[in-house]
Amino acid sequence: MVWLVFFPSTGWNFAWPVAPVFSAMFIGVGFIARAYIGYYLWREKQWAGLRWQVNANYAFLFVIFLATYWHVDEMNWKSNIFIAHIWVVAYTVEPIRLYLLEPRSKESKAPLPAELHEGPLLPGLKRVAGLGLVVAVALAGLMFINPQFMNTRWPWPLDPLNARIMAAFLLLAAGWCRDVYFAEQWAEIKRAVLGLAIYAAGNFALWLVIFPQFDPRRNNGLTYGIAFGVFAVLLVYYYFRQERLKTTH
Closest of 50, 19, 86 to residue 195, by C-alpha: 50
3-state secondary structure 42-60: HHCCCHHHCHHHHHHHHHH
Domain of 105?
2-248
Digit-by-digit pLDDT tens for the chain (249 residues) are: 566 887 788 888 899 999 999 999 999 999 999 999 989 888 887 887 888 899 999 999 999 999 999 999 999 999 899 999 999 999 999 999 989 988 887 766 777 776 677 889 999 999 999 999 999 999 999 999 999 999 999 999 999 999 999 999 999 999 999 999 999 899 899 999 999 999 999 999 999 999 999 999 999 999 999 999 999 999 999 999 999 987 655
CA atoms within 13 A on the CB side of 50: 19
- Structural domain tally of the chain? 1
Q: pTM for the complete prediction?
A: 0.93
Using CA atoms, how far apart are residues 67 and 91, in angstroms rounded to an integer? 10
